[in-house]
Chains A and B, each alone.
Chain A
Amino acid sequence: MMDFLLNEFLVTGDPLIYGAMVSIVLVSIAIVFVLTYFRKWGYLWREWLTTVDHKKIGIMYIIAAIAMLFRGGVDAMLMRAQLTLPNTEFLNSQHYNEIFTTHGTIMIIFMAMPFLIGLMNFVVPLQIGARDVAFPFLNAVSFWSFAFGAMLFNLSFVIGGSPDAGWTNYAPLAGPNLNPGPAINYYLLGLQISGIGTLATGINFMVTILKMRAPGMTLMRMPIFTWSSLITSFIITFAFPILTVALALMTIDRIFGSQFFTLTGEGMPMMWANLFWLWGHPEVYIVILPAFGIFSEVISTFARKQLFGYKAMVWSMLLIAGLSFLVWVHHFFTMGAGAGVNSLFSVTTMLISVPTGVKIFNWLGTMYKGKIRFDTPMLWSLGFIPCFVIGGVTGVMLAMAAADYQYHNTYFLVAHFHNVLIAGTVFGCFAGLTFWYPKMFGHKMNEKLGKISFWFFVIGFNVCFLPMYFLGFMGMPRRTYAIEPEWMPLNVVSTVGAVLMAIGFIVFVYNIYYSFRYSEREKTGDTWDGRALEWATTTPVPFYNFATVPEITGPEAFWKMKQEGGTTYDKDNLEPIHMPSDSGVPFIMSAFMFVAGFGLVWEWMVVAIAGLIGILACMVVRSFDYDHGFHVSVEEIKETEEKAREGEK
């Protein structure tokens, strides 16, 4: 038993891992101590763990995403440390493989998506005049299955070892023969569990946006961020089942000995790559389209103009969504599927740059002759445009199948996708968070610190990734753990850039603390002179969002309300509001998913089956739960609103 514990269960022998173990234990003890000392266990359970309120769920998503950004960022810094100088022995090749795998997986699945889904959760119901999402209980299931999936995945580096086959997890390297042990199982089960949550979110927001808009808000009157969320929901709903199936097939391969992706028994290893990218390419649009929506909102608000080319924006997003399912083979042009296949996917890939270019010009058009204010959210949006264009242009270079044989698996590719994912998604998340921060927490983030973190991050970002294009041309392969001497100068530059980005991130996080302590509290709900309906609510937003739902008569609902003197608190037309009840079932059910997942990772079938029975039991409990929620009385609404609106008078 002791032997198993020390040799297989716990990861031993690496001082970095020992450090991580000690810090995990210390942080856990500290959290338990703080919660107990301040008697916050009940508060935590009542207000957060059992909540079905879309605003709180959104905030929890964002907190988790920032924690994951930290973890993924530490991975990145370790990689840069290893790659700065030739002959570094900071990390061995196995450890390096594990770190680039967890970096990629965490940044995409557990950072980018939850960050954007968190913002969607908080903002979309407010923008369409709804009081919650269509399925609040399911929304909580989504969050908790994501959280427990992420926890399972993160556990791997101290218990059992981290997956090491890249975030794409290609077969046959990730198969049972070349990669025995629990590591890859963590990848499969962690993604499977959090994928359940993502799929549910897609369905939830699709229904919410289609069915729960305020009266008069036609599709073409929706704020552009809501449009981007709707389209993203469609992509999620149609793309994630492919990942679910692919992960399940490989899990069956690994645990039960089937041969879908093996080299023997007529298995097709490349079928994994095919299925992975059938999901994986739509996935990159899942993480970029909401960011486009955020930039559109921010640019229109801070240029103080209506969004230029609203209809073109909507149509270009629809076109991108459609094309996103038709380009996946460009991720493996070098498989050599022949000229016909490669040409077709080359053309479809280049086509995507057309609607994306339309969007760029629309943003520029929105700013044209606008009276631009340069607050932090706007800075992130302005930084996004040139940085993202570089990523887009190099993307078109990669789209040429013949040329791709040169770029494939080099640092050119690494530079390209960081240029689109960081400049697009990460800048978008930061822009969105600083933009909606006052609505979430009742105070702005400090402008000065915000600008410092912006400049560190943006300059660091370019210093870090521009040299990588040239390293790619010089032949530096992706995922190498040791560099040649001639690649050293540019790698040193790149590492300096990474350090600058890390400083930017630290200042950003410090800003959260600083603003909590010192920022002036918001007195009205309309911090930025906003245009969409979320700014019509008071700050902080009451749990039922809108005392009375306004009648929408045109685009930019709140802008119009401000001119015509409308309100979301029509005293004479108050009615009791029907709200959903909180529930502990989502948390408990997701905890059972974690147990089942952990059992499967270690192939302990008794544990896995116990977890599955727990999940089923929770489903039964939920199925026969006849709690239809509760009604908020008119008196309570009046009291809440009068108190919240004191500052406005």
Chain B
Amino acid sequence: MSAENEKFPKQHIVGFLGSLVLTLAAAWAVVGSGLPTHWIIISIMVMAVVQAFIQLFMFMHLTEKNGSIQVGNMLHAFFIAAVIIAGSVWTMSFGFSHNHSDNGGGGEEMQMEEQEHNH
């Protein structure tokens, strides 16, 4: 136990530095790279996925053999993430439709406002 603990925590440091580099790279991609927008989005999403795997494998003990708790936690996490993202998009998409299709009461109001501005 103690011998294992006193090893130099190589994996953690690599993971930590890796996360920092990926985060800075993502910030640079947005602020300073000058790439076209869709390439920026693709690149930061790829880096996010890579970083998620770094977290899961280097810090979160995903490789440990303790099946049910790990799987349960992961499924729960995916469920909550889906609720947060899909739920937010669904709830908040009201009134923000850019194609002027009828999307609830607010959308109409916005259209009317815009029409007023046009006059």
Q: Which residues of A contact B (CB under 8 A)?
A: 210, 234, 238, 242, 268, 270-271, 274-275, 278, 325-326, 328-329, 335-338, 341, 623, 626, 628
Contacts and interface: CB of A to CB of B under 8 A. Distances in A.
A274 B5 contact: no
Contacts of A274: 88, 91-92
Contact of A278 (B77, B84, B104): B84
B2 interface: yes
A274 B95 CA distance: 15
B100 interface: no
A271 B76 contact: no
B94 to A, nearest CB: 5
A337 B104 contact: yes
Contacts of A238: 76-77, 80
Interface string B1-16: 0100110010010000
B91 A326 contact: no
Contacts of B106: 336
Contact of B91 (A210, A234, A341, A626): A341
Given A338-B105, A628-B2, A628-B5, A234 B76 contact: yes
Nearest to B109: A336
A623 B5 CA distance: 11
B80 A325 contact: yes
Main secondary structure of the interface of B (DSSP, over half): helix
Given A274-B91, A341-B91, A628-B2, A623 B84 contact: no
B83 interface: yes
A623 B84 CA distance: 34
B104 A270 contact: no
A328 B105 CA distance: 21
Given A238-B77, A337-B92, 20 more contacts: A210-B69, A234-B76, A238-B76, A268-B92, A274-B92, A278-B88, A325-B80, A325-B83, A329-B87, A329-B91, A336-B105, A336-B106, A337-B94, A338-B94, A338-B103, A341-B91, A623-B12, A626-B5, A628-B2, A628-B5
The 10 closest A-B pairs by CB, nearest first: A338-B104, A337-B94, A238-B80, A337-B91, A341-B91, A274-B88, A329-B91, A626-B6, A325-B83, A338-B94
A28 B18 CA distance: 46
Contacts of A325: 80, 83
Contacts of A271: 88, 92
Among B76, B91, B96, B105, the most chain A Cβ lie within 10 Å of the Cβ of B91
Given A336-B106, A338-B104, A626-B5, A270 B77 contact: no
A325 B12 CA distance: 32
Contacts of B90: 341
A575 to B, nearest CB: 16
Contacts of A341: 90-91, 94
A413 to B, nearest CB: 20
Interface string B47-87: 00000000000000000000001000000110010011001
B83 to A, nearest CB: 6
B83 A336 contact: no
A274 to B, nearest CB: 5
Nearest to A238: B80
Contacts of A234: 76
A335 B90 CA distance: 13
Nearest to B104: A338
B82 to A, nearest CB: 10
B84 A242 contact: yes
Contact of A270 (B80, B92, B105): B92
A268 B91 CA distance: 12
Contacts of B91: 274, 329, 337, 341
A426 B4 CA distance: 46
A234 B6 CA distance: 31
Nearest to A321: B76
Contacts of B96: 268
Contacts of A336: 94, 104-106
A341 B9 CA distance: 49
Nearest to B2: A628
Contacts of A268: 92, 96
Contacts of B77: 238
Contacts of A326: 83, 87
Interface string B98-115: 000001111000000000
30 contacts: A234-B76, A238-B76, A238-B77, A242-B84, A268-B96, A270-B92, A271-B88, A274-B88, A274-B91, A274-B92, A275-B88, A325-B80, A325-B83, A326-B83, A326-B87, A328-B87, A329-B87, A335-B94, A336-B94, A336-B104, A336-B105, A337-B92, A337-B94, A337-B104, A338-B104, A338-B105, A341-B94, A626-B2, A626-B5, A626-B6
A341 B91 CA distance: 6
A326 B88 CA distance: 11
Contacts of B88: 271, 274-275, 278
Nearest to A234: B76
Nearest to B69: A210
A242 B94 CA distance: 21
A617 B32 CA distance: 30
A271 B6 CA distance: 46
B69 A623 contact: no
A49 B84 CA distance: 38
A210 B72 CA distance: 13
A265 to B, nearest CB: 14
Nearest to B9: A623
